[in-house]
Amino acid sequence: MKIAIIGGGYVGLVSGACFAEFGVSVAVVEADAAKREMLLEGKIPIYEPGLDRLVADNVTAGRLAFPASLAEGIAEAEAVFIAVGTPARRGDGHADLTYVFAAVEQVVLTLDHPAIIVTKSTVPVGTGRKIAELAKKLRPDLPIEVAANPEFLREGSAITDFMRPDRVVVGTDSERAREVLRQLYRPLYLIEAPIVFTGLETAELIKYAANGYLAMKITFINEMADLCEKVGADVHDVARGIGLDGRIGRKFLHAGPGFGGSCFPKDTLALMRIAEEAGAPSRLIQSVVAVNDQRKDAMAGRVAAACGGEVRGLNIAVLGLAFKPETDDMREAPSLPLIHGLVSRGARITAFDPAAMAGAKPMLPPDVELARDAPQAVTGADVLVLITEWNEFRALAPAKLAGLMRGRVVVDLRNVFDPKAMREAGFAYHGIGRARQDATPVTKDSRN
């Protein structure tokens, strides 16, 4: 079977390489010439563990190609997947479907054979139906079917998520589309991954409902963390105590600085708008969006509070920039409001991230210094703020930090350090939702 994927970003590239690994012939059509050049040279424009190898193997095997023209890419393709971006539209939070409809129009006008258009992009309820109408209008001569196949992969573990998904969702009214997608995902039958077949609208809503629910779970534990700090409880233990209940589950109960990334922020906003417009507003999702926005904006103040209310003149080392570990994705990263907030309060920032520094640089205030590695970032720092839980940061020994830093304040926004070990090394340790928050030992003398 041959398929085409329009858009070679996180989702398009990972899906393309994984389908190729399943033995399908895949053409990934990427509009950005610079990205395409990189791909043709065997370089991967994004950081995703294992992807370079998977792409290289499948290109060598002749199953994965990056054609320059759309016509070449979709020639003989039984299914054309749309994997372009659907960012939040400025101003109103609706999903911006400009790229989706531009891609669909190009595909429909170029097709010379019947095909199935499959949305892998996250699209609002009703989009599949509109794509079908557009295809019929533009190409009444050609049978074009439509299916929604939302993607649930997580950046950082995208390949495993694609190859061993909890489920695959396919929404379509077309028996032919169902058959082609069933065939495409056949390798997953062996590992008994459930395939949920639904109508178009249902599949589209499943994606938003899943992300809305996960965002709500994170926001819930974040609020519990705030409560823990007030009442002398420990959010780690609260999360474990509730997460062991099978009805709740342990995942997504890690308190932190608020969610970011390429999906939750825009998808919760879009879900809020979809629900409002449908006349069934979701007050839960509205609250999730508002609470999370406030939380991200409040992190600079939290650091200031840990320093006795004032960060002016302090050297602050920020470890982590990407919105989560194992990715270089900076979209809506909580590090951005944190660093901008600290700089506007007069702090000097030295930051380090193992993968996201190039992408972060243009988004940061110009005087933020980027360090070569974590030890360099913390050298001479008065305060250490950890905001992305890369594994290499977990390994930083408190004694080593104490030897490199000038001050003794650690603000651990991901609860990765051992509070006891930190305190034994002489640090005032501030986690999230941990019962005991230290009084600050930063004195005016340590500022300059």
- Among this protein's residues, is 228 annotated catalytic? no
What tokens does 254 get? 């890690």
Q: Is residue 99 a contact residue for ligand NAD (CB under 6 A)?
A: yes
**95: helix, strand or coil:** strand
Q: In angstroms, what is the minimal distance from the CB of 355 to ligand NAD?
A: 15
Q: Is residue 268 a contact residue for ligand NAD (CB under 6 A)?
A: no
Pick the closer one to ligand NAD by CB: 11 or 333.
11
Which region among 149-157, 194-202, 242-250, 270-278 touches ligand NAD (by CB under 6 A)? 149-157
The residue written with tokens 């308190």 in the block is: 255
259 within 8 A of 329, measured Cβ to Cβ = no
Q: In angstroms, what is the minimal distance from the CB of 14 to ligand NAD?
A: 8
Q: SS3 string of 286-334?
A: HHHHHHHHHHHHHHHHHHHHHCCCCCCCCEEEEECCCCCCCCCCCCCCC
417 within 8 A of 423, measured Cβ to Cβ = no
Catalytic residue among 18, 228, 263, 307: 263
Q: Is residue 262 a contact residue for ligand NAD (CB under 6 A)?
A: yes
Number of residue whose CB is nearest ligand NAD: 9
List 16, 19, 20, 35, residue binding ligand NAD (CB under 6 A): 35
DSSP state of 88: B
Which region among 98-106, 226-234, 405-413, 427-435 touches ligand NAD (by CB under 6 A)? 98-106
The residue written with tokens 């209310």 in the block is: 309
List 21, 78, 145, 155, residue binding ligand NAD (CB under 6 A): 155
- Window 9 to 28, contacts with ligand NAD (CB under 6 A): 9-12
Q: Is residue 72 a contact residue for ligand NAD (CB under 6 A)?
A: no
List 27, 74, 153, 271, residue binding ligand NAD (CB under 6 A): 153
What tokens does 21 get? 């690994």
List 7, 257, 258, 354, residue binding ligand NAD (CB under 6 A): 7
With b for 16 or more beta-carbon neighbours within 10 A and e for fewer, the 301-315 pattern comes to: ebbbbbbeebbeebb
List 20, 24, 55, 83, residue binding ligand NAD (CB under 6 A): 83
**For helices 127-138 and 98-110, what crossing angle results, to 10°?**
30
* H or E, element range at 349: strand 348-352
User: Residue 80 pairs with which residues in a beta bridge?
Assistant: 4, 117
Q: Is residue 429 a contact residue for ligand NAD (CB under 6 A)?
A: no
List 20, 29, 300, 409, residue binding ligand NAD (CB under 6 A): 29
Q: Give the closest residue to 397 by CA, choosing from 388, 387, 410, 407.
A: 410
Q: Is residue 206 a contact residue for ligand NAD (CB under 6 A)?
A: no
Angstrom distance (rounded) from CA 304 to CA 409: 11
342 within 8 A of 316, measured Cβ to Cβ = yes
In the shown chain, the binding pattern of residues 101 to 130 toward ligand NAD, with x for contact by CB under 6 A and - for none, equals -xx--x--------------xx--------
List 23, 32, 194, 227, residue binding ligand NAD (CB under 6 A): 32
Pick the closer one to ligand NAD by CB: 72 or 179.
72
Measured at the CA of 425, the angle between CA 257 and CA 302, to 5 degrees, comes to: 25
Which region among 96-104, 239-247, 284-292, 366-374 touches ligand NAD (by CB under 6 A)? 96-104
Angstrom distance (rounded) from CA 244 to CA 258: 23
2 within 8 A of 27, measured Cβ to Cβ = yes
The residue written with tokens 């563990």 in the block is: 49
**227: helix, strand or coil:** helix
Provide the annotated active-site residues: 263
Which residues here bind ligand NAD, judged by CB under 6 A? 6-12, 29-32, 35, 83-86, 99, 102-103, 106, 121-122, 151, 153, 155, 262-263
